[in-house]
Amino acid sequence: MKAVYILWLRQLKRYFRSRSRMIGSLGQPLLFLIALGFGFGPIFQKAGQGNYIQFITPGIVAMGILFTAIFTGIEIIWDRQFGFLKETMVAPISRLQIMVGRTLGGATVATFQGVIVFLLTLLIGFRPANLALVPAALLFMFLIALLFTALGTAIASVLEDMQGFQLIMNFLVMPIFFLGGALFPLQGLPPVIADIAKVDPLTYGIDGLRGTLANLSHLGIHTDLLVLTTVTAGLVAIGSYLFSKIEI
């Protein structure tokens, strides 16, 4: 457990030392929130759907978590290229502990990033529907972060170059985000899009955040929590296995 704690702490230190990374990762979520939130707000309201800022904010919070979490996997390739991963691997600790420590560290960083985005949305005009459910929203944030940190780790474990990782991430991340219901309601979708949304794990994370923060859940908070927990556990297991097979 000491090794897990040290690796977790290292991920946090790496994040807080990079102020440009902290600030830069806030740019895209805020751009989406302001440009789309205020740009499409009048149209959304005329369609009888209410306040678009209230609707889109949970999706933007999830977006901030998604990008931060999944790109944590790049650090594995970076550490492999510069020899730090080899030094970690030869230490008298199991690879499972290394993976768990790195994953928990990346998930904590991504959750913190989501909290920052959430706090900024309060300045823009978002208001939680029920303050008592904010702790439940934090749980959903952490599960989203853990899920996509594990996914990034799993993918990075089977790649050796940065360019390949970026191509795969761009192929996965944008569809995961746009088809997860972050920017549009899940009701009334074409059957094909609705089916894709159902197999997108981010759909359940966003819906859970929307239910806890804005009281607008479509699938049900309990369903969201069950699916998200199950998929997260599966990806952590897969990520742990692939990480254990890394050749250094």
Span 80-108, pLDDT tens digits: 776 666 666 666 667 777 778 788 888 88
Q: Where are the domains of the chain?
A: 2-244
> CA–CA distance from 116 to each of 152, 194, 214 (Å)?
22, 31, 18
pLDDT value of residue 200 = 93
pLDDT of the residue at 91 = 62
Q: What is the pLDDT of residue 16?
A: 62
Low-confidence ranges of the chain (pLDDT < 70): 1-24, 47-48, 82-93, 165, 169, 247-248
Residue-level pLDDT at 68 = 86
pLDDT given at position 106: 85
pLDDT of residue 59: 92
Q: Say how far apart CA 218 and CA 220 lie, in whole Å.
A: 6
State how far the Cα of 42 lies from the Cα of 50, in Å rounded to an integer.
Answer: 9
User: Distance (Å, rounded) from C-alpha 71 to C-alpha 111?
Assistant: 14
> How much is the pTM?
0.89
Query: Cα-Cα-Cα-Cα dihedral of 91, 95, 100, 105, to 10°?
Result: 40
Q: What is the pLDDT of residue 133?
A: 92
